[in-house]
Amino acid sequence: MSTTNRVGHNDLEEHGRIRPEGREGMREDMTLYRDEMRVWSNLALKGIDNAMAGLATMVNQQIKIKSLSLRQVPAREASLLVGGPEKLVIGIYLTFTGDATGHILLVHQPEVAFAIIDMLLGNPPGSTQSLEEMEQSALAELGNVIGSSYLNAIADSLNMSLRPSPPDVILDMAGAIMDVAVVEIVQESDDVFVSETTFGTDDRQANGTFLVIPSVSFLRIILEHSGVRQTC
């Protein structure tokens, strides 16, 4: 039976420091206060639980959340979250629209992505060696399941409408992939706010990093919906 191991609220709050690090002159202040951080932590946890449950069902294996953090980083350093700008990775990228907007990015090292493809397609381990049309389709479906599950949990909690785009599967340097995700956000703020999750199976076949990068307006809207921030 496929299951997920859950990370507690204390883990979220211990690792999530929601403040700009040495940044001044920001066009938009994205700092979250304690009550606001608690709201976002709870929503992020619900979303991650639902997303990992969807992944566990899809691969029919137990999925463990190895780390979960909420943090704010300068946009120019975003690629460091996935190994550095020159690291070759496979990214599954979605945007979402509706009552709020943002970006979802699932990042794997190529060999790990190939192992996940083998699990999804029922192939013997080591079968996948390249990213062809069938392999891209399998990863796109993975992104669709995880992204939709995450957004559905948050949307249901706040009675919002959040609609994911079709996933794009990209083989490229981490810097190039992250630039796509943050290009719109840097028009509003010098920093990006990231929900970062590393997950895997006991044998590490499904290790990956799941990034949720909300727009400034997304953060503002969910806090207004939750009642902890008043509408200006």
- Report if residue 232 sits inside a domain: no
Say how many Å lie between the first and final Cα of the chain, rounded: 48
pLDDT at position 149, please? 93
- Report if residue 125 sits inside a domain: yes
∠ CA 106-108-113 to the nearest 5 degrees?
110
- Write down the pTM of the prediction: 0.77
pLDDT at position 25, please? 40
Give helix 133-158 / helix 110-121 axis angle, nearest 10°.
90
CA gap 120, 229 in Å, rounded = 42
Beta bridge partners of 17: 71
Q: How many domains does the chain have?
A: 1
pLDDT tens digit sequence for 82-98 = 889 999 999 999 999 99
pLDDT tens digit sequence for 29-75 = 556 667 777 787 788 888 989 998 998 888 888 888 888 888 778 88
CATH of the domain at 124: 3.40.1550.10
CA gap 24, 117 in Å, rounded = 44
pLDDT tens digit sequence for 139-163 = 999 999 999 999 999 999 888 899 9
Domain that holds residue 105: 4-21+30-226
Neighbours of 203 (CB within 10 A): 10
Residue with tokens 């990214």: 91
